[in-house]
Structure formats: C-alpha cells, structure tokens
Structure 1
Amino acid sequence: MDAVRSDGTLKYILKEQEKQACGHVNEDSQWDLELVLVRHGTTLWNRERRYLGHTDIGLLAGAGQELEPLREKLQGRFFARIYCSDLMRCRQTLQIILPESELKAGRTLSAKSPIMEPRLRELDFGEWDGKTYDMLKNVALYRAWIDEPQRITPPGGESWAKFEHRLHEFLDSLYEWRIAMEPQQLSLADAPPSVLVVTHGGVIRQLAHMLIPGHGFWSLHPKPGEALRIQLRLIEPHKFMAKILSHSLDENW
C-alpha cells in the first residue's frame, strides 16, 4: 500500500498537473510534506486492553526504555513543526523522545516549540472509556458499534463524523501553513519539510485511511512507541496524494 492508487490514468493526470504547475521535477521534489506519526508509549489501560480515549492517564513506569529506540532515531533530525496531542500520555512520550533540553541545545532541531493540539486526541469513547471487550460484549449498542462505528456513537462519547472532521481540520491547518511558507525557504532540490506528530493509534489509522484511498482503518496496527512516515503532495486546497515511506523499525527509516 505505498501508492495512492495503482490506476495508471490517475498517475498520468497527476504527473501532468505537476509538470504544468512547476515544470518537470525529480521524484523527491514532488512531495510537499513528510509526516512522522508517532503513537504514544504504553499505559496501564493499554496493557489491560481497556478502551482509552480522552481519559488522561500517563505512561507506565519504564516508558523511557520502551521509547529509547525511537528517541535514538530522532536525534539530529530537523522538524519544521512538532505537534502533540494535549493528553498526558502523548506529552510524556514527546518529552522522552525529544527532551526539552535537547530541543533547546539544538541536538534535535525544530523550527519552533511543540504545539499541543487537542484535535489530535483519540476518539472519545464516553461511558465505554476504561471498559474492556468482556465488560461490554453483551451490550447491544456496543455490538452494533463494533459492526458500524461510523454510524453508532458511544453513549456520552464522540461521533465518528466529529472525529473525522477534527482530523480534516488538522490536515487543513497543515495545508494552510505549508502554502504560507516563504518561497525562498525551500527550493525544488530541498527535501520536503518534516512534521512530527505525537498522537494515538486510532488517529494514525484514521489519518492513513483519509490520506490513502483504499487503505482501510484496520490496515495499520501501530504499536506503542512506533512511528510511521507518510509523504504528502498537495494536489489542490485540502486534497492530498500520499504514500507510506516506512515504519520506525524499518532499517531504512
């Protein structure tokens, strides 16, 4: 699943649009952004297989060891922007993988301070937060939600439409920031600016689903502390083409 579509006609049209917009360019210069999507480290509720949405709990003791491989991979990388879900488990993950002392010292470079972003929260499971499958399996509404989460809303929770809408708003904000960049800041020969996003498993799945047609919500299973790199091309306002580059455990990451 590393292309938007295998449809040759679509690829040809996109190539022609790119040539008309900026002339014939090499493969690397066709991408406008790189997203590095990081799932937070493990919490107690993750270990106990409880639903964890907006309940604000922190990471397990020993999270530093779990996140150390990713911290090492991020050292020395430049991020044009850093976004983080405002929930504690993500903020703690960010502090471990990119300690504030390293950001200030310039060992891991960033154009600005991390942005705490509520739109990057996990889906709000409402009354089902903290519950396990075994606790809910005999609840008719829950079983209907399992089959059709886009249609059913957990009691006191967030609708799928609202969840998707706020992630669309986040992507739109990336688009607006990217087109506002001064032309002299980037040349066609430059690598696309990289944006770090520390968030939740459901958010990563949904973003991949929204950006890559044919890529289902359950196509990805990001583990705690794992990163996913996605390159984006801005086709027109608020419309992207995308491809997955690699996971954090890949050798070429």
Structure 2
Amino acid sequence: MSPFRLHLLRHGEPEGAGRMLGRTDSPATAQGIAACTARAVGLSVTRRISSDLSRARACAEAIGPTYIDPRWREMDFGEWDGLAPEAIDGQALGRFRTDPDAAPPPGGERWSDLVARVGAAIADLSPEPTLIVTHGGAMRAALHGLCGFDLHAVFAIALPYASLLTLEVWDDTPRWARITGLATL
C-alpha cells in the first residue's frame, strides 16, 4: 500500500450529548456541524467517508460530497443505547469500562467486534488522502488496529466532539500519528 494521510474527525455535538449514543440516531446540532466544517478547513483530501448515522453524516456532507460506510458507526450499546450513564447499573457499567469485550452491554457489541468492523473498513481504503467523519469508539478502534494501542491507551486519549486525529498510513502501519484540534470550536 502506498503511504497516505488518514484524517479521522469525530462528529459534532449531537442532540442528547452525554447519553450512551451508539446506534441511537441522534442528529448533530447546528453548532456541532459548524465545528466540524471549521475543523476540516485546510485538509487536503480526495475522498470523504462517513458513518451512516445522521450525527456524523450531516457533518461530513456539510464539508463536501461523502461516501457513506456503516462500518464507521459507533459501538452498539444494546439495551443501554440512548441512556444516560446514571440510568445504568453502576457495577455493570464499571465492568464494561474495565473490559468491554468480557462485559459488553446487554444485547450490545463487544469491543473486538467494533475493532474487526473498523479494521475491515480500513483495509478497504484506497491509498489516497481521506477524511472519515465517525465516532469516538470507531476512532479508538482505528488507533488500536493501526497503532497497536491497547485498550487503556486508546481510552486515555481525549476525543471531544469535532476532534481531529491525523495518521500517516503505509503498509497498514502508521508511520506517525498526530492528534490535532482536541477542543471543540
């Protein structure tokens, strides 16, 4: 694979921010969309891809023509999807946060399934400068797969809404990674 730059942009703030928004299709706010378009200014890309969920898709489409790929969706939180963390049993949530593979949300996705799904999407990328508008979980899965960061390392990285992660990728291994713009605009 030829080297290429891969930009991962987390969608802008959604309606209902702070809840466990996985498959819940909560739209991005106008301010969230504006933050993403501002963050993308100056990025030189030949391809834009987005999750199919509206909070990511609206941000991507505001930037320019976009290919939709549902593999870039957020982790499915099953029965917890759409709930505030306070509404979830604290012990169960703690087990999930400690080991999301061994203790996934009831009816939800395992961490390894998210990693496999995002890994397949990455493997299908053509070697061209690409912007992907996605979700925090999918960005962490990409870091895990491309950089080999363990679970604790990927969750130690702050990825607020409209944050941008830039990777230089070649031979399925990044040459370097740089996280930019970690504050929302």
Question: Is TM (by shorter chain) over 0.5?
Answer: yes
1:225-240 superposed matches below 5 A:
225-234=162-171, 239-240=172-173
Identify the residue that residue 177 of structure 2 maps to in structure 1. Answer: 244
Matched, 1:45 2:16: yes
Identify the residue that residue 4 of structure 1 maps to in structure 2. Answer: none
Identify the residue that residue 92 of structure 2 maps to in structure 1. Answer: 141
Q: Which amino acid aligns with 1:199?
A: T
Question: Higher mean Cα deviation, 155-164 or 119-128?
Answer: 155-164
Q: Is the 8 A contact 2:159 2:182 kept in 1?
A: no
Identify the residue that residue 104 of structure 1 maps to in structure 2. Answer: none
Identify the residue that residue 32 of structure 2 maps to in structure 1. Answer: 63
Q: Deviations over 1:75-119 (max 9, x none)?
A: xx3x232211011011111122x145xxxxxxxxxxxxx210010
* TM-score, length of structure 2 as denominator length: 0.86
CA distance in 2, matches of 1:145, 1:64: 30
Q: Is the 8 A contact 2:21 2:81 kept in 1?
A: yes
Q: Deviations over 1:151-181 (max 9, x none)?
A: 112112112221111111112112xx34xxx
CA distance in 2, matches of 1:172, 1:72: 26
Identity percentage of aligned residues? 27
Identify the residue that residue 121 of structure 2 maps to in structure 1. Answer: 170
Q: Is the 8 A contact 1:84 1:90 kept in 2?
A: yes
Matched, 1:127 2:79: yes
Q: Which amino acid aligns with 1:33?
A: F
Q: Which amino acid aligns with 1:125?
A: F
Unaligned runs of 5+ residues in structure 2 are none
RMSD: 2.3
Q: Which amino acid aligns with 1:232?
A: V
Matched, 1:85 2:51: yes
Change beyond 3 A, Cα 1:214–1:121: closer
Q: Is the 8 A contact 2:25 2:54 kept in 1?
A: yes
